[in-house]
Structures are given as C-alpha cells and as structure tokens.
C-alpha cells in the first residue's frame, strides 16, 4: 500500500500548503493515455502529465531507447567530455528547429533553459562592451518558469510569483496581445511593446515571449501576425528575441514549433517538456551564430554548466522521442484533436458559468467566469474517470497525441458536465 499518511506529512507537492495540503491520488501504473490508481481505477490523462507525455505512457520505442543507453552509461559529466547521444540530439534539433538556430546548450529543465536564455542575452551585450542593456521585456500574462530569472519575466501581478516581486530583477512588461489567433494584428495591438522598445531599447537586452500560446499564465492564444511584427521590432531596435517553446514545441499547436505560424526565427529558443516524450527531465536552449559569436569573441566563455547537462540517458531518449514523433502522422492526429475539441467544447458555451472556449492544436480551454475550486474539481474529474487539473478560472486539457476519439470525448464530456455543476 502506498503510504499516503507519510506523503501528507513529509512530501511537499507543487503549489500546495503543508498545513492544508490538497488530496493526492496514489498511482501504481501508467499505460497509453491511462493513469492507474492504487485502487484499480483507470483515469484518462487529459494533461499529458503537464503537457510532456505526447506519446502517452509506457511507449515501447522509448522504453527500448532507455534500456539501450543504460547498457553503455547513464551519465557522464559534460565538462571536457562528450558523447554520441548529445551530438545526435544537437544535430536533430538544429535540423528541425527554425532556420539559423545552430548552437545547442543542453540543460535539465525548462526553467533552467529560460535562465540560460536570459543569461545568454545579457552576456551577449556585456561582451559587446554594453553594460546598460541588462533588462528583459516580457508580456503581461506570461509564464516562463519558477526559478528567479524566469520568475522575473512572468506577469508580476496576475502570475504565481507576486510574493517575490521585491526580490526579483525589475524588467519591462508590455500589454498582453489583444489580437486573437487567426486574426490580423493592427498597429494599435503592438503599440504597447512598440512604445517600450522606443523608450527603453538602450536598456533592453531581449524580448522574451511564448509564441502564439501563453500557457500557464492564462492559456491565451494570439495572432501570428503579432509575433511576426515583434520580430521586426526587435531587429529595428537592436534587441534579441527569445522564444520560449517549452510548452508549444514538438507539435502541440499544430506546427512542429509555434514560431512556424509566423514563419520567424528567434535569436534564442527554449525547449523542454515534450523533448523526451516526458520520460526524463531535459531541456535545450538554442541560439544563432550572432549570439554565440557575441558571447564568445575576445575569449568570452558562457558561464553556465549544470551538473546533469547533456545527460546521455535523457539525450538518447529525446532522440527516440523526436524520431517517433516525426515518423508518426502527428499533424493529422493533432488536427483531428483540434477539430473534435472545437466541436465538443462548443456545448460548454450554453452554460452560464462559462466565459468562453479556446482551441488550438491539441489544446482545449474552457474559461470560467469565476475561479475554480481545485479540490472540488479534482474529486469530480476522478469520479468521472479522467485526470484534469484546472487552475484559476481555466478548465483545460492538453492530452497525448495518441488519444482516441472516444477517450477524448470522455474528457470533453467531463468538462461539460463540470460546467453544469458550477
């Protein structure tokens, strides 16, 4: 038996209080799109374990990749050493990511990938002899991670980190893009970020944004035209562009990378989550040669080196996961998910508690008018045989791409039923 009493007393779960912890559900197995609880109940996973299990659980090809690599080595330091899995992963990422991203820094989590990107941007300008470009420009509604530099570019008011606002570096924030996905972007829509860049570009090292989809900051989908215009503004004002594709990378929005919706290349790209298909923690920060040369000239070295950087086990699994994705009909699967989400969730609009619905790729969002009681919602969804974990006013799913029509329908029916209870 899983000792839930010990768990409750000693294990600090994410975003919870140790005095009044939320209930947790003991898991003994996971397979395909199902999570199996200790009592035998099987839940359809609508969250892909915070968006990373794009192939589902217990995937044979990824299992084999882990076992093959274990026979050689699970880890070796990356300082002064290298290995085939890291080289092949870098080769694959350079090949499939937007053009000009040629340099790959392999780290161990999404937040670290963002830390690395911010550090790259600042060190780039320092090495040009420009000490004043030490701020970052982000967007309202942004979420980029839970470490300190990452927190400093999350929305300082509506985000999860307002308690730390006096401890973090002060950065600039433009208004969240009002132009919706599939809509044009007017000059008024970019007026906020344009004004900040005009006024403060001499202090700003980079703009950081989540392309097309703002994730944990509000599941907000915005115009590809906005993203294209930001690329132009960054070039005009001599500011680097960082694209955080930790949530959107590897097909989640219907494109392999969300930057492709606008046909742009950032100067720095952050990847994580689905990189290994959810098997192991791994992240990557890619840059173009302009950035790497700017940091490296005159004997400059990039000052970052995580202990588990380039972990061979994770790199080998990432290669297998990416190849599995590319060899699959992933675009057809994601498009089918989007069509079904759009049709099924339309029924939620009939409920008075619902503000609106939003869909893109394999993401379906029901925004409620009031905040959702997480404990009540979690108990409800488990009773319905599904795993859905809302936050704030957002009821959403981001399932594995392998999910079938009936399994997806069970998720959307549970979402509809929940909106009727509120």
For the annotated catalytic residues, the residue numbers are: 15, 143, 244, 273
> Which one, of 283, 308, 304, lies nearest residue 295 by Cα?
304
Phi, psi dihedral angles at 185 (to 5 degrees): -115, 120
What distance in Å separates the CA atoms of residue 368 and residue 387, rounded to the nearest whole number?
A: 18
What distance in Å separates the CA atoms of residue 355 and residue 366, rounded to the nearest whole number?
A: 8
Joined together, the tokens standing for residue 422 give 């509120």
CA atoms within 13 A on the CB side of 391: 14
Beta strands in 108-239 (DSSP E): 135-139, 172-174, 204-209, 213-214, 220-221
Neighbours of 356 (CB within 10 A): 11
Asked whether the beta carbons of 310 and 90 are under 8 A apart, the reply is: no
Asked whether the beta carbons of 344 and 319 are under 8 A apart, the reply is: no
Joined together, the tokens standing for residue 89 give 């992963």
> Which one, of 147, 145, 107, 123, lies nearest residue 276 by Cα?
107
What distance in Å separates the CA atoms of residue 227 and residue 211, rounded to the nearest whole number?
A: 7
The two beta strands, 204-209 and 135-139, are parallel
The two beta strands, 213-214 and 220-221, are antiparallel
Neighbours of 202 (CB within 10 A): 12
> Which one, of 302, 303, 304, 293, lies nearest residue 128 by Cα?
293
What distance in Å separates the CA atoms of residue 267 and residue 98, rounded to the nearest whole number?
A: 10
Cβ partners under 8 Å of residue 204, min gap 6: 133, 135, 136, 137, 172, 196, 197, 237, 239
Distance (Å) of CA 361 to CA 44, 352, 399, 401: 19, 26, 11, 10
Distance (Å) of CA 121 to CA 56, 108, 116, 152, 267: 35, 19, 9, 15, 9
387 DSSP 8-state letter: E
């Amino acid at each position: 038996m899983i000792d839930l009493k010990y768990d409750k007393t000693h294990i600090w779960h994410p975003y919870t209080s140790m005095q009044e912890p939320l209930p947790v559900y003991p898991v003994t197995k996971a397979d395909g799109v199902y999570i199996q609880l200790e009592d035998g109940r099987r839940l359809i996973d609508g969250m892909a374990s915070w968006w990373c299990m794009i192939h589902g659980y217990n995937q044979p090809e990824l299992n084999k990749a882990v076992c093959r690599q274990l026979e050689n080595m699970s880890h070796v330091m990356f300082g002064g050493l290298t290995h085939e899995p890291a080289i092949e992963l870098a080769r694959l990422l350079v090949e499939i990511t937007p053009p000009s991203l040629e340099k790959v820094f392999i780290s161990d989590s999404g937040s670290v990938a963002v830390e690395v990107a911010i550090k790259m941007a600042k060190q780039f300008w320092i090495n040009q002899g420009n000490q004043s470009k030490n701020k970052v420009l982000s967007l309202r509604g942004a979420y980029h991670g839970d470490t300190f530099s990452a927190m400093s570019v999350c929305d300082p008011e509506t985000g999860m980190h307002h308690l730390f606002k006096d401890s973090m570096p002060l950065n600039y924030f433009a208004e969240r893009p009002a132009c919706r996905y599939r809509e044009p972007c007017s000059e008024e829509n970019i007026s906020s970020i344009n004004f900040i860049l005009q006024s403060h570009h001499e202090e700003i090292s980079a703009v950081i944004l989540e392309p097309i989809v703002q994730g944990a900051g509000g599941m907000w989908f915005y115009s590809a035209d906005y993203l294209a215009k930001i690329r132009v503004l960054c070039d005009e004002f001599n500011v680097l562009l960082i694209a955080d594709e930790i949530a959107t990378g590897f097909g989640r929005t219907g494109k392999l990378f969300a930057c492709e919706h606008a046909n742009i290349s950032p100067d720095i790209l952050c990847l994580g989550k689905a990189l290994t298909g959810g098997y192991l923690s791994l992240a990557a920060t890619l840059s173009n040669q302009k950035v790497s040369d700017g940091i490296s000239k005159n004997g400059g070295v990039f000052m970052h080196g995580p202990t588990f950087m380039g972990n061979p086990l994770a790199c080998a699994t990432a290669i297998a996961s990416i190849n599995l994705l590319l060899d699959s009909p992933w675009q057809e699967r994601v498009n089918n998910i989007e069509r079904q989400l759009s049709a099924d969730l339309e029924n939620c609009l009939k409920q008075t508690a619902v503000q609106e619905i939003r869909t893109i790729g394999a993401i379906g969002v029901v925004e409620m008018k009031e905040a959702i009681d997480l404990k009540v919602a979690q108990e409800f969804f488990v009773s319905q045989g599904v795993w859905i974990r809302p936050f704030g006013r957002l009821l959403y799913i981001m399932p594995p791409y392998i999910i079938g029509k009936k399994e997806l329908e069970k998720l959307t029916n549970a979402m509809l039923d929940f909106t009727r209870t509120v």
